[in-house]
């Protein structure tokens, strides 16, 4: 609703000059247009869906307080409108007496347009939230028509603001809460099918908490929608300037999404549980075989290698085998929520166990690897000596036989054998030296 432009003369001063015919006609035209806009707006306010909801709801808290005050404000609005209607009707009646108004008619019209209008019951209990009156009545409870229209506009805007804000919250939040509740029920049914239940799984307890939160939230939104309204940060004075506060709803939605992901993960476990269990059995079986091989190799090393420190080899992990049996039992009983974390842990620990077994085998067989390397080195130098026809040199034959006896006898002293191979290597190098010098001289 707009505020008409200032009327000619000085509002509120009955002793001002009398208006002329043209001035009166212009003022009546402006006032008539403003009156129609006011009437249309008040009727729309009366029929507003938000108003009907507020009148029929069992309100509480902030909304109850503000709606009670708004109802009183609306009553005042209609009193002001009735006063405006009566004054406008009187002015139109005077103007309609004759085509060319007499000086008396103009004086009467000037009084109606400029003088104050008394409005019974319009004093007011319509202070704003900060306690200030919006367009408060002048002294004596009388208004000029301009003041009357301004006051109607102010009270209308404040009343519409309450109605629009409550209607916006009711339009936005309950429907979204209902949709989230329906999604929660589907998630709960799915969660129960995979063993995610209250008291048995944290996600089951979280589902119960979210359910209770949504029930409380919906009841509070219905009873006190204005408690979930955030006024516009721009300071806009337009009715309904702001937005619904969806903070609690958003937190519940995020929590439900996390639970849905967790339930999906449990479902994935159900689908590939058997394959993962078979892979776990295979990994642990390989670890056990490797440890068995390491224990056998340790016995061989102790028998064939003298003066060697061979690390002890532990047995299979009893705890891992017991947990694997527990995992199989969880699968048999369809306790997927328990199987999921157990499988994750077992897969990591089984790989660690296999790696430990391989390292144990490597450590145990290290002396045998050293002996094999020495045997290979000895044979390589003997082959080189044979290619240069010095393999039958008595010193080489003696040192080769000594090294070979050490490397091919049990138990083998690796330190002594390594020294014997080194001595044969040195003798072979000395035997080959003259031939190498002759070769350089021929070139």
pLDDT in tens, 368-382: 888 889 889 888 888
pLDDT of residue 223: 94
Contact 37, 152 (CB under 8 A): no
Q: What is the dihedral of CA 378, 379, 384, 386, to 10 degrees?
A: 120
Q: Tokens in use for 437?
A: 């010098």
Mean pLDDT score, 32-61? 87
pLDDT of residue 7: 34
Q: Which residue has the higher pLDDT, 437 or 101?
A: 101
Mean pLDDT score, 257-278? 85
pLDDT of residue 3: 34
Which residues make Cβ contacts (< 8 Å) with residue 7, sequence separation at least 6?
Answer: 27, 30, 113, 114, 144, 145, 146
Residue 414 and residue 416: Cα distance in Å, rounded? 6
pLDDT of residue 433: 76
Q: Which residue has the higher pLDDT, 124 or 131?
A: 124
pLDDT of residue 13: 41
pLDDT of residue 256: 94
Residue 199 and residue 143: Cα distance in Å, rounded? 69
Q: Tokens in use for 169?
A: 């919250």
The strand ranges marked E within 140-299 are 142-143, 229-231, 242-244
CA nearest to 48, candidates 201, 127, 148, 166: 166
pLDDT at 194 over 90: no
Range with lowest mean pLDDT among 162-176, 293-307, 343-357: 293-307
Q: What percentage of the chain reaches a pLDDT higher than 70? A: 85
Please state, as a whole number, how many other Cβ atoms lie within 10 Å of the Cβ of residue 426.
12
pLDDT in tens, 385-434: 888 788 788 888 888 888 888 888 888 888 888 898 899 888 888 887 76
pLDDT in tens, 81-103: 888 887 788 778 787 787 887 77
Q: Any idea what the Cα angle at residue 158 is, between residues 49 and 55, rounded to 5°?
A: 35
Contact 144, 116 (CB under 8 A): yes
pLDDT of residue 273: 83
pLDDT of residue 437: 55
**Highest mean pLDDT: which range of 115-124, 193-202, 301-310, 370-379:** 370-379
| Residue burial 18-53, b: 16+ Cβ < 10 Å; e: rest | bbeeebbeebbebbeebbeebeebbeebeebebbeb
pLDDT in tens, 37-46: 888 888 888 8
pLDDT of residue 4: 35
Residue 187 and residue 170: Cα distance in Å, rounded? 26
pLDDT of residue 238: 59
Q: Tokens in use for 221?
A: 């939104």
| Confidence band, pLDDT 50/70/90 cuts, at residue 218 | very high
Q: 């296999």: which residue's tokens?
A: 354
pLDDT of residue 123: 54
pLDDT of residue 10: 35
pLDDT of residue 289: 92
pLDDT at 250 over 70: yes
pLDDT in tens, 126-173: 444 433 344 445 544 577 777 888 888 889 989 999 999 999 999 999
pLDDT of residue 134: 45
Question: How close are the terminal C-alpha atoms of the chain, in Å?
Answer: 119
Q: Which residue has the higher pLDDT, 2 or 124?
A: 124
Coil, strand, or helix at residue 20?
A: coil
């Amino acid at each position: 609703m707009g505020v008409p432009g200032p009327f000619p003369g000085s509002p509120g001063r009955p002793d001002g000059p009398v208006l002329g015919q043209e001035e009166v006609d212009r003022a009546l035209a402006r006032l008539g247009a403003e009156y129609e806009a006011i009437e249309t707006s008040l009727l729309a306010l009366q029929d507003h869906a938000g108003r009907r909801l507020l009148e029929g709801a069992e309100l509480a808290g902030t909304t109850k307080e503000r709606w009670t005050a708004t109802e009183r404000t609306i009553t005042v609005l209609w009193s002001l409108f009735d006063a405006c209607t009566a004054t406008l009707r009187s002015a139109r009646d005077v103007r309609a007496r004759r085509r060319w108004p007499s000086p008396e008619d103009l004086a009467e019209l000037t009084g109606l347009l400029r003088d104050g209008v008394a409005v019974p019951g319009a004093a007011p209990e319509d202070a704003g939230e900060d306690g200030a009156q919006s367009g408060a009545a002048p002294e004596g409870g009388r208004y000029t028509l301009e003041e009357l229209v301004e006051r109607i506009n102010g009270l209308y805007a404040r009343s519409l603001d309450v109605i629009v804000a409550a209607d916006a919250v009711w339009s936005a939040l309950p429907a979204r809460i209902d949709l989230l509740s329906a999604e929660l029920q589907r998630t709960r049914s799915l969660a129960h099918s995979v063993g995610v239940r209250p008291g048995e799984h944290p996600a089951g307890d979280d589902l119960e908490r979210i359910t209770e939160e949504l029930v409380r939230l919906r009841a509070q939104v219905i009873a006190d929608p204005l408690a979930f309204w955030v006024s516009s940060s721009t300071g806009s004075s337009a009715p309904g300037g702001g937005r619904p506060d969806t903070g609690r709803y958003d937190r519940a939605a995020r929590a439900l999404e996390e639970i849905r992901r967790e339930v999906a993960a449990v479902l994935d476990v159900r689908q590939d549980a058997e394959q993962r269990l078979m892979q776990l059995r295979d990994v642990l079986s390989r670890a056990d075989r490797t440890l068995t091989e390491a224990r056998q190799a340790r016995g061989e090393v102790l028998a064939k290698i003298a003066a060697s420190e061979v690390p002890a080899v532990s047995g299979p992990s009893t705890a891992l085998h017991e947990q694997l049996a527990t995992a199989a039992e969880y699968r048999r009983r369809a306790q997927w929520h328990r199987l999921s974390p157990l499988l994750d842990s077992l897969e990591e620990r089984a790989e660690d166990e296999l790696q430990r077994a391989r390292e144990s085998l490597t450590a145990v067989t290290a002396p045998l690897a050293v002996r094999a390397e020495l045997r290979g080195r000895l044979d390589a130098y003997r082959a080189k000596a044979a290619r240069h026809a010095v393999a039958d040199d008595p010193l080489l034959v003696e040192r080769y036989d000594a090294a070979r006896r050490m490397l091919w006898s049990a138990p083998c002293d690796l330190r002594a054998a390594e020294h014997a191979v080194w001595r044969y290597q040195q003798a072979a190098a000395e035997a080959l030296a003259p031939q190498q010098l002759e070769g350089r001289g021929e070139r």
